[in-house]
Structure 1
Amino acid sequence: MLGLLGLFIGLMFLYSRPLYWYLVVWALCLCSLLSLTLLSSSEYTFSAYSSFVALDSLSSLLIVLSIWITILMLLASQEVYSKANKAFYFSLTVVSLLMVLCVAFSMLDAYMFYFFFESSLIPTLILILGWGYQPERNQAAMYMMMYTLGASLPLLTGLVTAVYWMDSGKMVMVHMLRSSLDSYFMYPNVVVLVFFLAFLVKLPMFPVHLWLPKAHVEAPVAGSMVLAAILLKLGGYGLIRIYQFMGFLGSYMQTVLLTVALWGGMLSSVACFRQVDLKALIAYSSVGHMSFVVAGILSDTHWGWRGSLVLMLSHGFCSSGLFALSGYCYSLLGTRSLILVKGMLTLSPTGAFWWFMFCVVNMSAPPSINLMGEIMVLTSGLFSCMMYAIPMGMMMFLSCVYSMYLYTATQHGTPSEPMNAMHGFKPLASLVMFLHLIPVKTLVISGTLISCWF
């Protein structure tokens, strides 16, 4: 599959500019069909293809999600190709990012995983700097690089130290080893923080989340979609892998991180009501949803891990769809301000319908796979401590409130002057929204199978 992507990258150099978009989209559609064969991996079995590459159900699902979201990124970014805004380099950056993510999700060696984990920042940085909207994109890119690179250096130190104590030349991320390496260290709580910090920043978890709203506001549509739908899941994937390998059972720092994640997620949900930018509001809602993912992983139960996987998949489609909607509104109106974007219900019924559907999914209303994931994580969190019911219940309630606030603020009221440019959604925009919504609604039918499979 990666070889097929490389072949099409080579063909891009041979064809003229109008064919870039069609060539890449059809290539990714073919890869998406081929990626469905990866879903045959069993729950606890790695399908090893070499000494460095192996797949299980978690890796396979995230690779399929990455390819699907990349197709939707290109469909939502047709404006880049229509305006000839460095279309070839945009296609090359998007496909390169997909290849890096697919390799990162399939790496068996921890050092190689760390390399590709950090390599994903380079195409994302190029997307923000090359196709961002405002001059503040330089500051947003600096925030993203400083937060993520600064937090990943302790992880590299921890990996090197772990290999030294194991008297081994490499560190294989085999499923469910539970080697309990914390017994080799004098301070296991520090070890937990060192190994988890890089992934908690990538998720991100409160209070190391400040880079995410800045990056989302300044990134193009494709950048916001890949940040929310895939790169945040890379943090969750790394957190699960390191937790499975290390086996940090009964650590005091684990309880501290779980508590901070839940109460911080509640605070970030409250912060959604202070936002006047559409992208910033959606970004802060992502911080709240990722707090559920952290809670499910650190609960140390298979029920919680299954719920975290379901939430990662559902959030990938839901948040990507919301960012695509905000991008379409910005392309039509030239603003994302909630003060100016109002009255869309009377001007674009189709757009109002899509806003309603994705706000309903964002608040985890049935039928959607989000609800099943939140119930599973809530149940696993209560096994850890009954007091966690307060922040988790508040997050579920606040997600309903700010989702309704987002819908009413954009659809109701008297249309402002910029809204006169609103002439409805194009068929391609509706197709992108439909392809986001279908997996969320159909996966709820097979959600029980997914949760039992992982």
Structure 2
Amino acid sequence: PMLNPISTKLYYPFMMLAIWGIIMTSTICLRQTDLKSLIAYSSVSHMGLVIAATLIQTPWGLTGAMTLMVAHGLTSSMLFCLANTNYERTHTRTMLLARGLQLILPLMTAWWLVANLMNMALPPTINLTGELLIISSVFNWSNITILMTGAGTLLTATYSLYMFLTVQQGKLPKTTINISPTQTREHLLMALHTIPMLLLLMKPSLIMGPFMCHYGLMKTLECEPKN
């Protein structure tokens, strides 16, 4: 560990709560009918991984936690922006009452697909890098955690697809009338969320560099002979 507490057993309860919380909040997401509530619970689920990785206090864990915080911060913000564009046109946050938007807003559907793929941590997104680092460090801490983190990853993919298919597919409700087309500022907003993700994908050392350099410096100082 990079920081040595009085007893490493002190954070065992918090580790278990964080990892178990991933599964619980993901399960809650599957039962949501409110679009914004689903996105909010999704963020809570991802932060369970961040808490677990931070408590382990290993270089991989801290690097993965920082990577996932930045990546999911952009992803969650993009999902909330997309949810707001739907709300401005349908005046409801209930997914079943705002379905079938692919028929009239096809370009916005493409942004929905990109955001959901990032939320699922599909390669080659930076979200995948963060989750792999965290899951590897947690697995190294305890092998049995792979069952919970694996289940959490599967549930994340399930509710992300559920959200995308419910909002975009299906028959357009009769209550949905006079929907205005998307505007340039909305597409610009989505692009400004996606471009930083692409930049981090091309140069991940912007996030990972400080922690790995710090760990390398610590190892160098430990290996130096003492006078």
Confirm or deny a common fold (TM above 0.5). Answer: yes
Which of 12, 30, 40 is equivalent to 1:283? 40
Match for 1:447: what amino acid?
P
Distance 1:394 1:387 in 2: 12
The aligned counterpart of 1:272 is 29
The aligned counterpart of 1:301 is 58
2:75 is equivalent to residue 318 of structure 1 = yes
Residues 229-285 of structure 1, C-alpha deviation per residue, up to 9 Å, x if partnerless?
xxxxxxxxxxxxxxx5xx425332301100111011111001101111000000111
Contact 1:282/1:319 (<8 A) preserved: yes
The aligned counterpart of 1:351 is 108
The aligned counterpart of 2:219 is none
Give how far 1:448 is off.
4.1
The aligned counterpart of 2:224 is none
Which of 140, 162, 171 is equivalent to 1:383? 140
* 1:42-121 correspondence runs (5 A): none
Gaps of 5+ in 2: 212-227
Give how far 1:452 is off.
3.0
Give how far 1:449 is off.
5.0
The structure with the largest alpha-carbon Rg is: 1
Match for 1:453: what amino acid?
P
Residues 101-126 of structure 1, C-alpha deviation per residue, up to 9 Å, x if partnerless?
xxxxxxxxxxxxxxxxxxxxxxxxxx
CA separation of 1:390/1:418 partners in 2, compared to 1, >3 Å: closer, same or farther? same
Distance 1:272 1:294 in 2: 19
Match for 1:354: what amino acid?
W
Contact 2:98/2:167 (<8 A) preserved: yes
Gaps of 5+ in 1: 1-175, 179-243
The aligned counterpart of 2:179 is 422
Contact 1:348/1:423 (<8 A) preserved: no
Distance 1:398 1:313 in 2: 21
Distance 1:425 1:418 in 2: 19
Match for 2:96: what amino acid?
I
Distance 2:130 2:65 in 1: 7
Give how far 1:445 is off.
1.5
The aligned counterpart of 1:190 is none
Distance 2:114 2:176 in 1: 21
Residues 402-450 of structure 1, C-alpha deviation per residue, up to 9 Å, x if partnerless?
1111100001000012332323311001100000011112211111453
The aligned counterpart of 1:435 is 192
2:14 is equivalent to residue 257 of structure 1 = yes
Match for 1:396: what amino acid?
T
Report the secondary structure of 1:339's partner residue.
Answer: helix
The aligned counterpart of 1:341 is 98
Contact 2:200/2:206 (<8 A) preserved: no
CA separation of 1:442/1:419 partners in 2, compared to 1, >3 Å: closer, same or farther? farther
Which of 93, 106, 119 is equivalent to 1:362? 119
Deviation >6 Å, runs of 4+: none
- When the two chains are superposed, the root-mean-square deviation of aligned CA atoms in Å is 1.6
Distance 1:294 1:431 in 2: 33
* 1:168-183 correspondence runs (5 A): none
Report the secondary structure of 1:425's partner residue.
Answer: coil
Give how far 1:333 is off.
1.2
CA separation of 1:347/1:407 partners in 2, compared to 1, >3 Å: closer, same or farther? same
Q: Relative CO higher for 1 or 2, CA cutoff 8 Å, sep ≥ 6?
A: 2
* TM-score between both structures, scaled by the size of structure 2: 0.88
Which of 163, 167, 179 is equivalent to 1:406? 163
The aligned counterpart of 1:140 is none
Distance 2:41 2:186 in 1: 24
Report the secondary structure of 1:439's partner residue.
Answer: helix
Residues 347-390 of structure 1, C-alpha deviation per residue, up to 9 Å, x if partnerless?
10011111111011100011210000000001110111001111
Contact 1:272/1:285 (<8 A) preserved: yes
Contact 1:347/1:423 (<8 A) preserved: no
Report the secondary structure of 2:175's partner residue.
Answer: helix
